[in-house]
Structure 1
Amino acid sequence: MIKTLALSLTAAAALAGPAMAQTYNVGISAEPYPPFYAPDASGAWSGWEIDFMNAVCDRIGAECVVTPVAWEGIIPALNTGKIDMIIGSMGITPERAEQIAFSDKYYDTPTGVVALASTDVQPTPEGVTGAYLGAQSGSIQENYVAQYFAETAADVRIYQTLDEELQDLAAGRIDAVVGDTLAMQPFIDSEAGQACCEYRGAVENDPDVLGRGVGIGLRKDDTELLETVNAAIAEIRSDGTYEEISAPYFGDLDIYGE
Structure 2
Amino acid sequence: MKKTALTLALAFGLAAPALAQDLKIGIDSAPYPPMSWQEADGSFHGFEVELAMAVCAAAALNCTHEGVAWNGIIPALETNKIDMIVSSMTITPKRQEVVEFSDPYVSSNAIYIGHKDFVFDPNDPEIIKNTRLAVQTGTSHEDYLTRKFDGQVDLKIYQAQDEQLADLVAGRIDVVLSGRMGSLAFLSSEEGKDFKALAMVEDETYPPLKIGAAFRKGDANIAKFNEGLKTVLQNGTYDEIANKYFDFDVYGMPKP
Q: TM-score if structure 1 supplies the norm length?
A: 0.86
For residues 22-61 of structure 1, what are the structure 2 equivalents within 5 Å? 22-61=21-60
Residues 247 and 144 of structure 1, relative CA distance in 2, 3 Å threshold: same
Structure 2 unpaired stretches of 5+ = 11-15
What SS is found at the alignment partner of 2:119? coil
Identity %: 36
Q: Tell me if 1:240 matches 2:239.
A: no
For the aligned residues, what is the CA RMSD?
2.5
AA aligned to 1:116 is: H
- Bigger radius of gyration among the two: 1
- In 2, the alpha carbon distance for the partners of 1:19 and 1:193 equals 48
Give 1:125 shift: 6.0
- In 2, the alpha carbon distance for the partners of 1:191 and 1:202 equals 22
Match of 1:149 in 2: 149
Structure 1 unpaired stretches of 5+ = 1-8
AA aligned to 2:97 is: E
Give 1:229 shift: 1.2
Q: TM-score if structure 2 supplies the norm length?
A: 0.87
Kept after mapping to 2: 8 A contact 1:125/1:148: no
Match of 2:7 in 1: 13
What SS is found at the alignment partner of 2:164? helix
Q: 1:200 aligns with which of 198, 206, 229?
A: 198
Kept after mapping to 2: 8 A contact 1:135/1:179: yes
* CA deviation profile, 1:156-210 (whole Å, cap 9, x unmatched): 1111211111111111110110101121122222233222x23112113456x67
Match of 2:65 in 1: 66
- In 2, the alpha carbon distance for the partners of 1:221 and 1:147 equals 31
For residues 118-137 of structure 1, what are the structure 2 equivalents within 5 Å? 118-124=117-123, 126=125, 127-137=127-137
Q: Which moved more, 1:49-58 or 1:130-139?
A: 130-139
* CA deviation profile, 1:12-43 (whole Å, cap 9, x unmatched): 936x9987531001111121111111011111
